[in-house]
Amino acid sequence: MLMLRCGLRIGEVSNLKLDDLYLGEAPARLIVRGKGDRERTVFVSRDAQHALENWLARRPLSSCGYVFVSYQQRRLSSTSISIRMKRIRERCGVHFTAHQLRHTFADQLLSAGMPITSIQKLLGHRFVETTQNYALANDRQVQADFREACGKLEGWSLLAEAEQVPLEEEAKRASRVDDPAGAVRPIQFDIRGYASLLPSELCRQLEAYRQLKVTRWRAQRVSANSRHFYSQHVRMWKFFDGQGIKRVSNLRLEHVLSYVKTRLEGGATTGTVNNDLSTLRAFLAYLRQDDVEVHSSLDGIRRLKQAERLPRYMTAEQVLGVMQTIEAEAENKQSKNAAHDRLLLRAVFYLLWQGGMRLGEVEELKFEDLYVSKSSRGRRLFVRDGKWRKGRVVYLTDAAYDALRMYLQVRGGEAAGGHVFIRQGKPLRKGYIGQRLRIIGRLADVHVSPHRLRHTFATQLLNVGCRETSIQKLLGHKSLNTTMIYARVLERTVMKDYLRAMEIIEGGK
């Protein structure tokens, strides 16, 4: 119970002393010494207090100052606790560990609405990023948070119960593949064009590194990512070659600094140069792990100071203006092909704005990833192969559901692949959606891009009270810090929070 309801580590339970108990206070609490000998206060729930008091009433009389003692009246070690937990696992048929109980504690607190910073303090973590690994919002909580936020946002309804043609029927009809034999094959990348530009040893090292990175790329992005990978490295190493550097072992920090200076003088932005530096550092780190000699001065490679970028979200008025323009365009009665393209753009727009999807995820969306139940609560799709090969659930608002259904009615057949979004029987070409959104943006007098709509999705959810960890899961981010780059607290939200807090503080005088 101390692990499940108080989040104690198994070692903290073992080392808990009688002097650390304050069960007579309201609320009951413990003083726990955790990692790094850091003390923290842990509050004791009613169930945990009841279990602890039952044990203390039966605890053998002993001069041992620890709370949990064995039959020999000695401190119960972590190993002894693990053995007892193993017996429980065998009896109940459920696999669990002490650390899983601690994870469950954090997850349940998060689901109950407790701020992650408070959970961090109870768990005794120095950094909130560590806590976030424990308190990952579960799917039920994410869906509940998303539904609640949608109720506060104009045009984000999830509660419409109007009778509609089931999306399953449209998807089943539209997913017909005209030529199954033409299915997409794994992409092989030819490096011969780059091999002639680099020394053979360096080319071998780069290709080994690329093969490692490929495992984290979506199959559809292997070719484009590989071209970018080699273009970036060729640019850097051709510069170093001009300074007489033929091998990695000959590279020094002064050569890198000279490259930075030349790039900046040539008009490259700080962000572009920082990207090159990060790429070079990662490659050198890989070579070190492979026992390749890398000069110690290269440990001094640092990113340039970069001004914080302004958030790229759109205001509610701007995104609604874009929505109205797209809706008006979709209603135009023109040729069949024109209707197809307008309904396609409309469906993609809602998935980007109200689903927070990346453009690449929309382009590669397959019919096998769609799941729709009869209830609006079950309308969702799966991103199975997102960035860093990480999957997630995307919930469909009524507007997104309706736009997707209408597009499927005019979609037509596909030669191969099973993609949801196609043009002229083929998957969408790169740049098509961005180009169409720019045209819509000019009509609405707003700068629109796929990624700006993703920023807007996160920011709008944050500012109607959706918890950060749920937004993180909806976006598919590994780090909560990344999510907060996308989701910016608006000034009016800060003002409301401040006035609400001051009313409580000053109202108590």
Cα 210 from Cα 195, distance rounded (Å): 13
Known catalytic residues are: 9, 35, 99, 102, 125, 134
Instruction: Quote the pLDDT of residue 489.
Output: 65
Rounded to the nearest 10 degrees, the angle between the axes of helix 450-462 and helix 316-330 is: 130
Q: Looking at the structure, do residues 420 and 286 belong to the same domain, yes or no?
A: no
Looking at beta carbons, which pairs linking 215-221 to residues 24 or more positions away fall under 8 Å? 215/389, 216/388, 216/389, 217/389, 218/360, 218/364, 218/385, 218/386, 218/387, 218/389, 219/186, 219/187, 219/385, 220/187, 220/360, 220/363, 220/364, 221/360
Looking at beta carbons, which pairs linking 146-152 to residues 24 or more positions away fall under 8 Å? 146/395, 146/461, 146/466, 146/470, 146/474, 147/377, 147/395, 148/465, 148/466, 149/460, 149/461, 149/464, 149/465, 149/466, 150/397, 152/464, 152/465
Residue 57 pLDDT greater than 50, yes or no: yes
Residue written as token pair 């620890």: 66
pTM score? 0.60
The answer to whether 152 touches 461, Cβ cutoff 8 Å, is no
In a domain, 325, yes or no: yes
Which range, 2-11, 103-112, 331-340, has the best average confidence (pLDDT)? 2-11
Cα 464 from Cα 105, distance rounded (Å): 26
Which residues, 6 or more positions from 369, have their beta carbon under 8 angstroms from its beta carbon? 381, 382, 383, 384, 420
The answer to whether 490 touches 316, Cβ cutoff 8 Å, is no
Average pLDDT in the 372-379 region?
59
Residue 329 pLDDT greater than 80, yes or no: yes
In a domain, 506, yes or no: no
Which range, 123-132, 158-167, 300-309, 497-506, has the best average confidence (pLDDT)? 123-132
Cα 400 from Cα 175, distance rounded (Å): 19
In a domain, 186, yes or no: no
Q: Looking at the structure, do residues 21 and 159 belong to the same domain, yes or no?
A: no
Q: Looking at the structure, do residues 281 and 332 belong to the same domain, yes or no?
A: no
Residue 180 pLDDT grade (very low, low, confident, very high; cuts 50, 70, 90): very low
Instruction: Quote the pLDDT of residue 265.
Output: 93
In a domain, 307, yes or no: no
Give per-residue burial for 463-494: e unless 16+ CB within 10 Å, then b: beebbbbbbbbbbbbeebeebbebbbebeeee
Give per-residue burial for 206-228: e unless 16+ CB within 10 Å, then b: bbebbeeebeebbebbbeebbee
The answer to whether 124 touches 38, Cβ cutoff 8 Å, is yes
In a domain, 263, yes or no: yes
Q: Looking at the structure, do residues 442 and 492 belong to the same domain, yes or no?
A: yes
The number of CA neighbours under 13 Å toward the Cβ of 445 is: 1
Instruction: Quote the pLDDT of residue 167.
Output: 61
Backbone φ and ψ for 265, nearest 5 degrees, come out as -65, -25
Instruction: Quote the pLDDT of residue 174.
Output: 65
In a domain, 317, yes or no: yes
Instruction: Quote the pLDDT of residue 179.
Output: 45
Q: Looking at the structure, do residues 177 and 321 belong to the same domain, yes or no?
A: yes
Higher-pLDDT residue of 134 and 481 is 481
Residue 384 pLDDT greater than 60, yes or no: yes
**What average pLDDT is seen over the chain?**
83
Domain stops at, among 280, 300, 320: 300
Residue 364 pLDDT greater than 50, yes or no: yes
Q: Looking at the structure, do residues 99 and 204 belong to the same domain, yes or no?
A: no
Q: Looking at the structure, do residues 348 and 478 belong to the same domain, yes or no?
A: yes
The answer to whether 135 touches 107, Cβ cutoff 8 Å, is yes
Tokens at residue 274, please?
């920082």
Residue 192 pLDDT grade (very low, low, confident, very high; cuts 50, 70, 90): confident
Domain stops at, among 254, 277, 300: 300
State pLDDT tens for residues 425-438.
888 888 899 999 99
Cα 330 from Cα 311, distance rounded (Å): 29
State pLDDT tens for residues 344-354.
999 999 999 99
CA dihedral 436, 442, 447, 450 (to 10 degrees): -10
CATH code: domain of residue 112: 1.10.443.10
Instruction: Quote the pLDDT of residue 482.
Output: 81
Among the residue ranges 52-61, 193-202, 479-488, 495-504, the one predicted with the least confidence is: 495-504
Instruction: Quote the pLDDT of residue 253.
Output: 94
Higher-pLDDT residue of 44 and 154 is 44
In a domain, 505, yes or no: no
Cα 49 from Cα 500, distance rounded (Å): 34
Cα 100 from Cα 106, distance rounded (Å): 10
Strand order in the sheet with 21-22: 21-22, 29-33, 39-43
Among the residue ranges 157-166, 228-237, 403-412, the one predicted with the least confidence is: 157-166
Q: Which range marks the domain in which residue 123 is found? A: 2-136
* Identity of residue 212: L
Tokens at residue 93, please?
């048929």
Task: Judge if the upstream peptide bond of residue 311 is cis by omega within 30 degrees of 0.
Answer: no
Average pLDDT in the 376-404 region?
77
Q: Among candidates 103, 104, 129, which has minimal Cα distance to 116?
A: 129
If one counts the domains in the chain, the total is 3
Residue 339 pLDDT greater than 90, yes or no: no
Q: Looking at the structure, do residues 206 and 233 belong to the same domain, yes or no?
A: yes
Instruction: Quote the pLDDT of residue 391.
Output: 73
Instruction: Quote the pLDDT of residue 447.
Output: 92
Residue 153 pLDDT greater than 90, yes or no: no
Instruction: Quote the pLDDT of residue 478.
Output: 80
Average pLDDT in the 94-117 region?
83
Instruction: Quote the pLDDT of residue 505.
Output: 62
Residue 182 pLDDT greater than 60, yes or no: no
Q: Looking at the structure, do residues 268 and 343 belong to the same domain, yes or no?
A: no
Instruction: Quote the pLDDT of residue 404.
Output: 92
In a domain, 155, yes or no: yes
Q: Among candidates 428, 417, 431, which has minimal Cα distance to 366?
A: 417
State pLDDT tens for residues 215-270.
777 666 788 888 899 999 999 999 999 999 988 999 999 999 999 999 999 999 88
State pLDDT tens for residues 99-109.
889 988 888 88
- 423 SS3 class: strand
Residue 442 pLDDT greater than 90, yes or no: yes
Cα 234 from Cα 242, distance rounded (Å): 12
Q: Looking at the structure, do residues 15 and 86 belong to the same domain, yes or no?
A: yes
Among the residue ranges 40-49, 64-73, 366-375, the one predicted with the least confidence is: 366-375
The answer to whether 377 touches 427, Cβ cutoff 8 Å, is no
Instruction: Quote the pLDDT of residue 415.
Output: 64
Average pLDDT in the 503-508 region?
67
Q: Which helix (H) or strand (E) holds 293?
A: none
Instruction: Quote the pLDDT of residue 183.
Output: 43
Residue 163 pLDDT greater than 50, yes or no: no
Instruction: Quote the pLDDT of residue 177.
Output: 54
